[in-house]
């Protein structure tokens, strides 16, 4: 679609102004680090270089683990027919919606995992859904005829072709897992407290918050910001490979139906992976809620009920404010994301090369708030917004909502962009010719058939906002939140309370996802 | 007396009382078909009459509810039981949407088939095949960047690289303009002359089935007539 109506301009300007305020403004102090000699001093500091080296290998190992677990899970659930495959596939996103700290607590309780490898394992398991979901998507979009043409040459060739299809997506997920693991401070911090002590770069950055030296903290975050930028460049490259592999348009290949022994093996491996990713950590937390000491006369059920009672009594306020922040963030994204995604879509469709390049740069800039460490974003927010004349805004629930919308808005934008791409341009063009206003064209004709995707995008922002921890610890108006309450209790070893708190958080996170998925599957069909 | 001399050569492909149901609807209804080595068979019929399903069942990509498929005299499938998997049937398929491998270059699309069939000098041979179909200059391009006609020529080159004994063509020229269609038929004619492969072409366009030459049949009610 090449025509563009000037009636869109005011709406677009307003929406992008909001994105600039929410997402790009807090990034400004971080970008200043690139020209700050003090910020670049890490290059000559052997201790910080050592920390960076450890962060790199740990994140690399976590990313590799996430690719192996996620891609295997995706291939089994999407391409092999065995009983329970659909149920297991629906569980795949779950670890992504649990705070990684919760998984750390569960795995420490289960296997007494310790040290850097425990952090690697936890971060790898927590991020496994990223490569898994992306690989599953690519496998579904492989054209059946391409798979069958390969099958005529032999099963191994077909398997190789299938891996070639899934690999760019799995690697893209692994790259995101790498960036997330490199900037996570809570999980390494948790395992470091359990001994043996070790440090990663994100802990070094976070350490500046204790002395309230926010500018130094923002400067110290420079290597992680650079890592995010490098990740962004690689991600764009992998995304091109992923799009090339996802031809789609026709039937998806049929799932492979192995002989009885193969079915048993596939079922066993898939359930083992689901146990590792979901059932074991959740089971451990459930058990932990009622775990009694040897001298406690109360039963497991009594202790568990008391723990949940305490959560609703003591942490109710924090849960409610977390819900308020997250709901407001989701609302901002619900209203603005269609405009954001539509401009990116239009920049892809323009005939002018310069505008296409500008669109790509804009797309990269949109991804940036998601790729910088949350701690660094928190420093940036404090430096730019914690001013006496902005106090009325800084202390209101709108600051957390805006920061969370800026941080997680990109997830909604990219999801919606893909859904909008699936709607034929002619639907919007005929509305344009018919004289419909820009909001009507966008919401009724472009977004209407994809209402499920729209709700899903906003729900994801809600979920990720609810599980946010690093930003909540750092920015004072966000301290009164469920994740911080949980983090504090964890460090005071109040295990029953923490486990109950985690499970309530799980339910709060899981419910909107389940509802959005159902809504999406009911409404998210694109007309042929 | 030499008994072998009296035995007729086995059919390249045969279907006996093939039944394929989709829900309550019978797509193939006790369908019989015989194809001699090197024979050309064109099947016409309206869209949705089961032409593609027939080709897919012959290739082993779909499992019929009952009936038999024989390839070169060997029982390939008996009812829902597959005895010869698709890769052991010595046939190649040109799909309606071509099914090119999007992550591989034009050269690799052909080269992979040769390599997988253990052909000597696969890269040089792939270049030779591409030159014959006029794609030598585009060897390093991705399939997605080819025009409709070029993509069709690549699909033919890939199918012929395996030197199949049977070639199954599922409406391969439908989306092409007349000029590209002429090129496609010329290419097919050359390939069939050289390899001596038997071919089944299905199309809803009678002009295409006429053009192939050889035997013509019409599909109706899940059976072949004519």
Q: SS3 letters for A42-96?
A: HHHCHHHHHHHHHHHHHHHHHHHHHHHHHHHHHHHHHHECCCCHHHHHHHCCHHH
Which residues from B are below 8 Å from A157, CB to CB?
A: 87, 112, 116
How high is the pLDDT of residue B199? 94
Beta partners for residue A332, in sequence order: none
Alpha carbon distance A309, A504 (integer Å): 11
Answer whether CATH 3.30.420.40 is correct for domain A1-33+324-478: no
The answer on pLDDT for A69 being more than 70 is yes
Predicted TM-score (pTM) of this structure: 0.84
Q: Calculate the CA dihedral of residues A151, A156, A161, A163 and round it to 10 degrees.
A: 140
Q: What is the mean pLDDT of chain B?
A: 89
Any chain B CB within 8 A of the CB of A150?
Answer: yes
Q: How confident is the model at residue A2 (pLDDT cuts 50, 70, 90)?
A: very low
Q: Which of A148, A152, A156 to mutate to probe the B interface, most B CBs <10 Å? A: A152
Contact B101 A151 (CB under 8 A): no
Which residues from B are below 8 Å from A241, CB to CB?
A: 103
For chain B, domains (ranges, CATH) are 13-225 (3.40.50.300)
Q: How confident is the model at residue B208 (pLDDT cuts 50, 70, 90)?
A: confident
DSSP sequence for A444-486: IIISGGGHHHHHHHHHHHHHHHHH--HHHHHSGGG-SSHHHHH
Residue of chain A with shortest Cα separation from B96: A145
How high is the pLDDT of residue B105? 93
Q: How confident is the model at residue A524 (pLDDT cuts 50, 70, 90)?
A: very low
pLDDT in tens, A444-465: 888 888 888 888 889 889 988 9
Per-domain residue ranges of chain A: 1-33+324-478, 36-281
3-class secondary-structure state, position B21: strand
Q: How confident is the model at residue B33 (pLDDT cuts 50, 70, 90)?
A: very high
Residue of chain A with shortest Cα separation from B118: A153
pLDDT in tens, A162-221: 999 999 999 999 999 998 899 888 899 999 988 888 899 888 888 887 777 778 888 888
The answer on pLDDT for A1 being more than 70 is no
How high is the pLDDT of residue A520? 58
Contact A146 B162 (CB under 8 A): no
Higher local confidence (pLDDT), A19 or A508? A19
3-class secondary-structure state, position A197: coil
Q: Do domains A1-33+324-478 and A36-281 have the same CATH topology?
A: yes
The dihedral region occupied by B31, where left means phi > 0, alpha psi between -120 and 50, and beta the remainder, is: beta
Asked which of A99-108, A264-273, B61-70 is least confident by mean pLDDT, the reply is: A99-108
CB atoms within 10 A of CB B134: 14
Higher local confidence (pLDDT), A61 or A100? A61
Average pLDDT over residues B169-188: 85
Residue of chain A with shortest Cα separation from B90: A152
The answer on pLDDT for B1 being more than 50 is no
How high is the pLDDT of residue A333? 94
Contact A145 B91 (CB under 8 A): no
User: Shortest Cα distance from B155 to chain A (angstroms)?
Assistant: 10
Q: How confident is the model at residue A98 (pLDDT cuts 50, 70, 90)?
A: confident
Any chain A CB within 8 A of the CB of B145?
Answer: no
In a 10 Å sphere around its CB, with 0-12 CB exposed, 13-18 middle and 19+ buried, how is residue A378 labelled? buried
Record the tokens describing residue A253, joined without a space. 């290949």
B201 and B42 Cβ atoms separated by less than 8 Å: yes
| Three-point CA angle A265, A266, A269, nearest 5° | 85
Q: Which top CATH class is A36-281?
A: mainly alpha
Average pLDDT over residues A520-524: 55
Can you say whether the dihedral through the CA atoms of A33, A36, A42, A43 is positive or negative? positive
Q: What is the mean pLDDT of chain A?
A: 85
User: Shortest Cα distance from A157 to chain B (angstroms)?
Assistant: 8
User: Shortest Cα distance from B123 to chain A (angstroms)?
Assistant: 17
The answer on pLDDT for A332 being more than 90 is yes
How high is the pLDDT of residue A528? 28
Q: Give the DSSP H/E element, type plus range, for residue A231.
A: helix A222-245
Average pLDDT over residues A44-49: 84
Q: How confident is the model at residue B71 (pLDDT cuts 50, 70, 90)?
A: very high
Alpha carbon distance B53, B45 (integer Å): 13
Any chain A CB within 8 A of the CB of B218?
Answer: no
């Amino acid at each position: 679609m090449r025509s563009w109506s000037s009636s869109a301009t005011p709406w677009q300007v307003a929406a992008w102004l909001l994105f600039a305020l929410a997402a790009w403004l807090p990034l400004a102090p971080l970008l200043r680090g690139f020209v700050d000699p003090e910020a670049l001093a890490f290059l000559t500091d052997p201790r910080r270089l050592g920390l960076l080296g450890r962060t790199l290998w740990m994140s690399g190992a976590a990313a590799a683990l996430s690719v192996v677990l996620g891609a295997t899970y995706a291939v089994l659930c999407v391409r092999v027919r065995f009983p329970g495959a659909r149920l297991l596939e629906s569980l795949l996103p779950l670890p992504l919606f649990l705070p990684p700290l919760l998984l750390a607590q569960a795995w420490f309780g289960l296997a007494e995992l310790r040290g850097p490898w425990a952090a690697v394992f936890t971060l790898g398991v927590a991020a496994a859904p990223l490569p898994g979901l992306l690989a599953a998507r690519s496998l579904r979009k492989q054209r059946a005829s391409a798979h069958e043409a390969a099958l005529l040459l032999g099963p191994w060739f077909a398997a190789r072709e299938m891996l070639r299809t899934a690999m760019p997506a799995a690697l893209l997920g692994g790259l995101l897992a790498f960036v997330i693991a490199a900037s996570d401070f809570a999980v390494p911090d948790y395992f470091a407290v359990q001994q043996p002590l070790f440090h990663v770069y994100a802990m070094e950055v976070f350490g500046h918050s204790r002395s309230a030296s926010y500018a130094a903290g923002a400067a110290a975050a420079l290597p992680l910001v650079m890592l995010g930028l490098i990740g962004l460049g690689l991600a764009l490259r992998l995304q091109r490979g992923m799009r090339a592999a996802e031809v789609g348009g026709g039937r998806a290949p049929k799932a492979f139906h192995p002989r009885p022994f193969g079915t048993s093996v596939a079922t066993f491996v898939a359930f083992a992976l689901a146990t590792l990713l979901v059932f074991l950590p959740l089971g451990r937390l459930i058990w932990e809620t009622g775990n009694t000491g040897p001298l406690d006369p109360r039963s497991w059920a009594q202790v568990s009920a008391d723990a949940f009672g305490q959560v609703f009594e003591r942490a109710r306020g924090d849960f409610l404010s977390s819900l308020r922040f997250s709901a407001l963030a989701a609302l901002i994204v619900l209203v603005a994301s269609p405009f954001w995604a539509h401009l990116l879509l239009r920049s892809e469709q323009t005939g002018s090369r310069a505008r296409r390049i500008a669109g790509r740069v804009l797309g990269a800039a949109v991804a940036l708030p998601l790729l910088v460490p949350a701690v660094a974003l928190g420093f940036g927010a404090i430096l730019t917004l914690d001013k006496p004349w902005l106090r009325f805004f800084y202390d209101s629930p709108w600051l957390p909502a805006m920061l969370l919308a800026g941080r997680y808005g990109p997830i909604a934008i990219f999801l919606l962009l893909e859904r909008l791409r699936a709607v034929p341009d002619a639907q919007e063009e005929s509305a344009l010719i018919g004289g419909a206003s820009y909001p009507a064209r966008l919401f009724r004709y472009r977004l209407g058939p994809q209402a499920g995707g729209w709700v899903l995008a906003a729900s994801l922002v809600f979920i990720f906002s609810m599980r946010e921890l690093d930003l909540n610890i750092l920015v004072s108006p966000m301290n009164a939140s469920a994740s911080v309450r949980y983090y504090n209790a964890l460090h005071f070893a109040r295990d029953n309370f923490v486990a109950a708190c985690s499970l309530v958080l799980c339910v709060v996170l899981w419910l909107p996802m389940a509802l959005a998925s159902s809504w999406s599957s009911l409404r998210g069909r694109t007309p042929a | 007396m030499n008994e072998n001399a009296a035995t007729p050569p086995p059919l390249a492909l045969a279907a006996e009382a093939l039944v394929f149901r989709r829900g309550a609807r019978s797509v193939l209804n006790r369908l019989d078909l015989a194809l001699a080595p090197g024979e050309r068979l064109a099947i016409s019929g309206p869209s949705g009459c089961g032409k593609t399903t027939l080709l897919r069942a012959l290739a082993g990509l779909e499992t019929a509810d009952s009936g038999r498929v024989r390839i070169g005299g060997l029982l390939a499938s008996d009812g829902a039981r597959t005895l010869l998997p698709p890769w052991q049937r010595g046939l190649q398929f040109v799909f309606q949407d071509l099914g090119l491998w999007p992550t591989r270059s034009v050269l690799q699309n052909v080269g992979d088939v040769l390599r997988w069939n253990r052909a000597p000098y696969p890269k040089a041979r792939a270049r030779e095949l591409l030159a014959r179909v006029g794609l030598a200059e585009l060897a390093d391009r991705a399939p997605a960047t080819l025009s409709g006609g070029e993509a069709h020529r690549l699909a033919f080159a890939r199918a012929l690289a395996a030197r199949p004994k049977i070639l199954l063509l599922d409406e391969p020229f439908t989306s092409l303009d007349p000029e590209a269609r002429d090129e496609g038929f010329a290419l097919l004619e050359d390939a069939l002359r050289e390899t001596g492969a038997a071919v089944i072409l299905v199309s809803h366009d009678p002009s295409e089935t006429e053009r192939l030459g050889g035997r013509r049949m019409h599909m109706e009610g899940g059976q072949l007539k004519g």
